[in-house]
A and B are shown apart, each in its own frame.
Chain A
Amino acid sequence: MELSVLLPFIVNVIVGGLILGFVYAIIALGYTMVYGVLQLINFAHSEVFITGAVVGFEIFRILQDSPMNGYLKLLLALMSAMVVSGLLNVLIERLAYRPLRGAPRLVPLITAIGVSLILQDVLRFLEGLQGRFDLTYTLPAGFGNKFCAAEGSSCAPLGNFLRSVGVDVQLKDVILVVVALVSLTVLNYVVNRTRLGKAIRAVSQDRVTAGLMGIDSNRMISATFLIGGALGGVSGVLFGIKFGTVNAYSGFDPGIIAFTAAVLGGIGSIPGAVLGGLLLGVIQNLIGVMNIFGDLLGIDNLGTIDASYSKIGPFIVLVLILIFKPTGLLGKSNVEKV
């Protein structure tokens, strides 16, 4: 392969990875926020976000024939997914985690795994009642368009720019990145600029002392679960838009990758989750095309590594981080006291 062909190809792989990374980043925020306040890996988060994806699918399906503007449909889908996922997350916390506060760490962790399994089958059941299992997203018209359809046709200014760089993206990818950035900005504002965010941060630092200062820690934990779930809803819709199909069980893989992203960035740290998500998206895409590099460099063994191996990339990364820098890239180290 010529370098002139390879360079745009690599750029495309990286840009694709970054777009994927934004989805992971938003999912990872759900993990990292809950971990921040409760030190609990919310295994059920992958189902919360798939619930968001399912809600998004249903909204798009209901609005399929209406003459409504595509962006309005997207907004409706996002809003309903946020509400449903957020409330679901609060409900899970109330029923499954709160009674276990103070139990040994293993106990809520096992509960979280159980909740995740239950939710998978409940979702499957609900969709199964209508005879649907694999949900295929039918997006509003135009979302799947490329910016420049053919070589000579007219382009939007953005399309011209993208073509000059040699990047090939669809409108839905741009929408995805914009939605992700907007939710990140809002989250950043809420956590760092509002009273609620201040209280959440206080609870995550030390629940007991925060209580002594007049903060109702249970309410703050519920609020965190609400925000985390709402982000899960957003990411679910984005995931559906990106991949086109979801089913009740498809939350596991992105969930685990997003968790890895949260650990990579330093769990509990919001910018860390975003950085980790973006990095992992790129890593995954690069592993997926490693056989092409193998062909290029004449290394036989790389030629057998195909996209199916890209699933284990995050785990290798996770092992390496936890061995060499357990606090993650942006995490602060916790000094353990006896």
Chain B
Amino acid sequence: MTVANPAKPAVRPPTVQPDRTFWLMLFFIVSSVLLLVSHSPEMLRNLGPLGDVLRNKVIEALVVSLFLANVLFAYLWKAANWAKLIVGLGSLLFVLPLAGQTDTSLLDLSIQIMIFAALALGLNIVVGLAGLLDLGYVAFFAVGAYTWGIFASPRFGEVLRYYGENPGSTGAGTLAIGLVLTAVTAGSMVYIKGLQARVAPTRLSDRSFLLAGIGLLAGIILVARSIVVLSSGSAEALANGISPGFFWLFLALSIMAAAVVGLLIGLPVLKLKGDYLAIITLGLGEVIRVLANNLDLYTAGSQGITPVGSASVPWFNSLAGTLGFRPDQYNLLFLYMLVLVMIAVVLLVNVRLDQSRIGRAWIAIRDDEIAAQAMGVPLMQTKLIAFATGASFAGVMGMIFAAKQTFISPESFNLLQSILVLSMVVLGGMGSFSGVILGAAVVTLLNLRILPGLGEASANVSWIPQEVNPANYNRFIFGSILVAMMLLRPEGLLPNKRRTRELHHGEDQEDESEDGNAGGLKAGGDVYSAGLATIKEDDRPGGSR
């Protein structure tokens, strides 16, 4: 199931579909005009009473949803390829920025949707493909955001100043010791690894490897600290953070940082599975949030870091200028285009990974860990790759999020955000890329437009008490999505073909593994005995009927 290959929708049976090119183009034109009109203040003023209707928040949210449905229909419907291309590219590259020119909140919303879509695609790898329920996913998002946020804000200068005033015993000597320690321990780690390749690994060599790892960490910390102390003289020069030119370097760094954190969290944790993994990732996510809340020197605690800078791209700014954008919109437009590119990259990586050896290994692990292991899938390694890949998507999006908001605080990275992303994955369909993107769009629209719109609309209604504002009940909405999808349509809105077959194969054939015990932790599934049918859960055993 790929987006790169839209002519072959995977889910529906191979019935002949009517050609809907005409309808697609018609829908595209109508919804684009609606969008453009409803987001231009002058036209709304000229329309009179109709303008008031269009200005209503709920109606506006509907118009935006209709417009975004274009892209979905271009993917789903059978239509000529040129029409699909026009609708897809036209709406994302042309109509949306044009409408965003008069109403920047629209650009903001689309960036938010795409950030969440990338997050959901990342979580989809972990949950949907590899079957590892990660409830602390937003921690990696936080890592990316803080990687850029600390350096591109006045925080960095303050950290330098602090270490300049409190150097401790750190100096050139410590730097030398740190460098030597790092080199020696790194070298010995390589040596031990080489040794292990030749002779059978022993417990002793494992331990010395671990020891060398701790030494390496200590060495790196020493080096980093002394570099910070030695460069503290430039604190004044960095009062507004580092130069925006480093944006691209940090784009790579935030990917790496999040992936490394993913590995670090994954290494001890991935021995567990199922519920234990869920709860422990939840815990580690909270740990990262509490750290962000308490490491005041680096993260400014609960006040948050502001202002976070963004990249400066002169040629893009002049391009946007000639297209008629105002200077204060340049950055948002730039981030919009950047996110668009990033999501295309993420999607491409996803699709390629899914079709690769690793993708098949993930699915094998999801379906049956022990069988996969028996077939020679390296369990730990494959799981770690899933974790790190998912984390790196979150990391890069975290950085873009920080640049867009120009403000980050621990509040943006709480458990509810993780669950938000999970509900996107579940709503769209675990394992299905297009579904996950759809889920992200629907949930983000609900969260940012429709619920606040309803809240605003209900504010003037007398029989709804002021304390009960629909905008405050997004947990209820996410919860309902999760429960309803699991009960009614566990494969999601745009299901993955393979996954659907798994979830429903009990209906047309005897399911051998999954009734009986709730899980695989305890002894096997059903009790078979000659001549007796397997016991179904709904049967009331003991002859009571």
A binds B: yes
Contact residues of A with B, CB < 8 Å? 38-41, 96, 99-111, 113-122, 124-125, 128-129, 131, 133, 206-209, 211-218, 252, 256, 259-260, 263, 306, 308-309, 311-312, 314-316, 318-319, 322-323, 326, 334-338
CA distance in complex: A117, B465 (Å): 22
CA distance in complex: A217, B542 (Å): 9
Pairwise interchain contact B280-A322, C-beta atoms closer than 8 A: yes
Contacts of B476 in A (CB 8 A): 117-118, 120-122, 125
Contact residues of B with A, CB < 8 Å? 127, 131, 133, 135, 268-269, 271-272, 274-276, 278-280, 282-284, 286-287, 290-291, 293-294, 370-371, 415, 419, 422-423, 426, 465, 467-468, 472-473, 475-476, 478-483, 486-487, 490, 503, 506, 511, 514-524, 526-527, 535, 537, 539-544
User: Looking at chain B's contact residues, is the secondary structure mostly helix, strand, loop, or mixed?
Assistant: helix
Q: Provided the pairs A106-B131, A110-B486, A216-B542 are in contact, do residues A207 and B283 lie with their beta carbons within 8 angstroms? A: no
Q: Name the residue of chain B whose CB is nearest to the CB of A316.
A: B287
A255 to chain B, nearest CB (A): 11
Q: Provided the pairs A40-B518, A129-B467, A311-B286 are in contact, do residues A114 and B131 lie with their beta carbons within 8 angstroms? A: no
Q: Name the residue of chain B whose CB is nearest to the CB of A41.
A: B275
Q: Provided the pairs A102-B537, A208-B526, A208-B535 are in contact, do residues A322 and B272 lie with their beta carbons within 8 angstroms? A: yes
Pairwise interchain contact B268-A323, C-beta atoms closer than 8 A: yes
Contacts of A263 in B (CB 8 A): 276, 279
User: Looking at chain A's contact residues, is the secondary structure mostly helix, strand, loop, or mixed?
Assistant: helix
The one of B282, B423, B490 in contact with A103, judged by C-beta atoms closer than 8 angstroms, is: B490
Q: Name the residue of chain A whose CB is nearest to the CB of B529.
A: A212
B501 to chain A, nearest CB (A): 13
Pairwise interchain contact A215-B275, C-beta atoms closer than 8 A: no
CA distance in complex: A265, B127 (Å): 28
The one of A110, A111, A128, A318 in contact with B422, judged by C-beta atoms closer than 8 angstroms, is: A110
Pairwise interchain contact A322-B483, C-beta atoms closer than 8 A: no
B299 to chain A, nearest CB (A): 13
CA distance in complex: A215, B516 (Å): 15
B515 to chain A, nearest CB (A): 4
Pairwise interchain contact A259-B473, C-beta atoms closer than 8 A: no
Pairwise interchain contact A256-B283, C-beta atoms closer than 8 A: yes
CA distance in complex: A306, B514 (Å): 47
Contacts of A38 in B (CB 8 A): 518
The one of A131, A314, A322 in contact with B276, judged by C-beta atoms closer than 8 angstroms, is: A322
Pairwise interchain contact B544-A102, C-beta atoms closer than 8 A: no
Contacts of A107 in B (CB 8 A): 486, 490
Q: Name the residue of chain A whose CB is nearest to the CB of B541.
A: A211
The one of B279, B483, B540 in contact with A218, judged by C-beta atoms closer than 8 angstroms, is: B540
Pairwise interchain contact B479-A118, C-beta atoms closer than 8 A: yes
Pairwise interchain contact A41-B279, C-beta atoms closer than 8 A: yes
Q: Name the residue of chain B whose CB is nearest to the CB of A217.
A: B541
Pairwise interchain contact A121-B475, C-beta atoms closer than 8 A: yes
Residue picked from B291, B521, B526, most chain A C-beta under 10 Å: B521
CA distance in complex: A336, B519 (Å): 11
Pairwise interchain contact B280-A319, C-beta atoms closer than 8 A: yes
The one of A106, A117, A214, A311 in contact with B542, judged by C-beta atoms closer than 8 angstroms, is: A214
Pairwise interchain contact B279-A129, C-beta atoms closer than 8 A: no
CA distance in complex: A194, B515 (Å): 29
